Structure 1
């Protein structure tokens, strides 16, 4: 797999510094660092650097994580044109300036996780046409300017978890048409504006859990075609509308809709969803499930901590439980005679099954 093979090249790191050390003599490892493979790997992890060291064009991996670098000055990597993997995690970086990575035309991996980055200047990612994996999680980013990722025509994975993003606007991902994994968990997103995901319609993995969206972003999601995994858990949504997942319903296999305070699904919420295998609905306020939810392909279903109403409306769920190898916890809250019973054990559905069989039998005549 593309992700795995490339990730074998290195581990995460963060770089930003107020100054740059002079270039080492040919064949010399930078002071305080240790080097491998004729300077192809330069490791400066946790060595107390205050400045970004110069490395030769032969260097492929530069590990600078856990140093106090603060910023990335212009020209910091002008002698490092052969870099493929750059690690700058935990470097107390505060800003990514314009042309911060100028000259790194071969860079594939850029790790900037767990810094204090609050500002990314226009042109910050200039020259990064080969960049495939960008990790910006664990920072203080509140806003992304239009087209900030546009130089990254090969971007495949973008990690923006645990920042302070409040909204996504149209044009944010312009140019990044190859993006497949977008991680936005643990931000402060209250809305995804219509059109904000139009440029990344080929997303396969979209993580939006742990944000502040009170309504399902139907307009923003409508252009997505091949989402296989969607996480929305922890957003305070009371309802999910009709056709919510329809545009990618043939592909979606994992849906995380847990811990949201969900009270109901519209009857057509799952219209077009034909491939879902894992569905997580635990820790909500659901009493019933919509008619559009098909259980045929589901192999992993979580339902606990919901006030289920054990009436015939839940009969399809009970029939699935009876035929499934796994019988998830789901407690009846009503009617009073069934309160406290597990859905899988409740006798409330016996009449529903008889009625279904009679109706089927009658249809033969």
Structure 2
């Protein structure tokens, strides 16, 4: 083998270095998936996969290489039944496994994934239980989605150490109770979705630790009892949904800690509008936010009336009715305090999605009503399904280059040598 004429050094070593630094030794993009980088984004949605595909690292020197490089893995709408230890790369930041056939998340399956920020395991109805240490060590986790997973219970330490978590979705499972201390470490949590379960009671300090919580959805459960201090500590809570439960009464002090509350839905409960309703009626006289109607189910003479609008005459004979009850001002030209008429385009499930203008305060909500899935900030996956630029592979049939994305002329020179 000779170098170019007039030169004493062969170019072969240089070309070999080029190959080493431009070519992965194994295929970085799994078969039938689409990939892009940086960061390495692997999209394997709706491919009929029965197991998590092996993902290797990208090109050395490309900004997404080496052990622990950032990887986003999207695997929705497949047939994966198990998530085992070691099945995902250590640099994982996003993992979507919703709408699969998951029945098992092995202990340690997510261990060591300290960079993981988003996990979606929703819509896996066979995932009926989780081990207590499933999410331990995920100190950067910001979004955890577990809706419609068939969960019957939650270990008390399931969310231990998740101090960065901001969004937690547990709706439409089979949960009947919330263990004491379950949320103790979730000081940054903003949204907690628990609707559509079988929760029957809220004990004292159920939501202890959630000092940043903004939205709490508990509608469509089986709630019949709420302790007076169940919501203690939720000083930043803006939205509380308790509609369509089995509540007949609520303690007078139950909403006292909710100094920031603006949206409250209590409709669809069988309210008893006798003397038991008097403390709640008094609280509504001080509440200036938006609330839904509370239709009385008993006694018969008050059936169908709105509890919030009852007068002292309706509570005649109850202790505490007398001179201390001051008459309320007339309704005037707009909604009464504590009452917002629902807009024409309001829907039962999600409400409205248009937020109030900046600077609007209590009593100025207009037609806004928050929806079940109205996030304050998105955790979307930019580039999902797209493959743009030079740092891109597509391994789906007929798409893009294969495992040698370095210049073709380099292959030709090597062949000549």
Same fold, judged at TM 0.5 (above) = yes
Query: Hey, what's the Cα distance between the residues in 2 that align with 1:141 and 1:242?
Result: 34
RMSD: 2.9
Q: Of 326, 330, 335, which aligns to 2:290?
A: 326
Query: Hey, what's the Cα distance between the residues in 1 that align with 2:134 and 2:197?
Result: 22
1:312 deviates by 5.0
Tell me the residue number matched to 2:111: 150
2:242, 2:265 within 8 Å by CA — same for their partners in 1? yes
Is 1:93 the equivalent of 2:54?
Answer: no
Is 1:300 the equivalent of 2:300?
Answer: no
1:152-191 alignment, distance < 5 Å: 152-163=113-124, 164-191=126-153
- Structure 1 residues not aligned, in runs of 5+: 1-25, 28-41, 43-49, 62-81, 359-365
Tell me the residue number matched to 1:47: none
1:267-346 alignment, distance < 5 Å: 267-290=228-251, 291-294=253-256, 295-311=258-274, 313-315=276-278, 317-319=280-282, 321-322=284-285, 323-324=287-288, 326-346=290-310
1:132 deviates by 2.2
1:190, 1:214 within 8 Å by CA — same for their partners in 2? yes
Q: Which whole-Å deviations, capped at 9, do the CAs of 1:299-352 have from their partners, x for residues lacking one? A: 111111101122454445445545535341210112232111012332236986
Tell me the residue number matched to 2:199: 237
1:135, 1:159 within 8 Å by CA — same for their partners in 2? yes
Q: Which whole-Å deviations, capped at 9, do the CAs of 1:64-118 have from their partners, x for residues lacking one? A: xxxxxxxxxxxxxxxxxx6522211111111126xx1132554442211111110
| Larger RCO (CA within 8 A; separation ≥ 6) | 2
2:153, 2:175 within 8 Å by CA — same for their partners in 1? yes
1:240, 1:269 within 8 Å by CA — same for their partners in 2? yes
1:283 deviates by 0.7
Q: Specify whether residues 251 and 308 from structure 1 end up closer, same or farther in structure 2 by C-alpha distance, changes over 3 A only.
A: same
Tell me the residue number matched to 1:119: 82
1:161, 1:186 within 8 Å by CA — same for their partners in 2? yes
Q: Of 210, 231, 234, which aligns to 2:172?
A: 210
Q: Which one has the largest radius of gyration?
A: 2
Q: Compare 256-265 and 307-316 and name the one that shifted more.
A: 307-316
Is 1:60 the equivalent of 2:36?
Answer: yes
Tell me the residue number matched to 2:347: none
1:355 deviates by 6.0
TM-score normalized by the length of structure 2: 0.61
Query: Hey, what's the Cα distance between the residues in 2 that align with 1:52 and 1:315?
Result: 64
Moved runs in structure 1, 4+ residues, more than 3 A? Answer: 50-53, 104-108, 311-323, 348-358
Query: Hey, what's the Cα distance between the residues in 1 that align with 2:228 and 2:291?
Result: 24
1:169, 1:195 within 8 Å by CA — same for their partners in 2? no
Query: Hey, what's the Cα distance between the residues in 2 that align with 1:302 and 1:111?
Result: 36
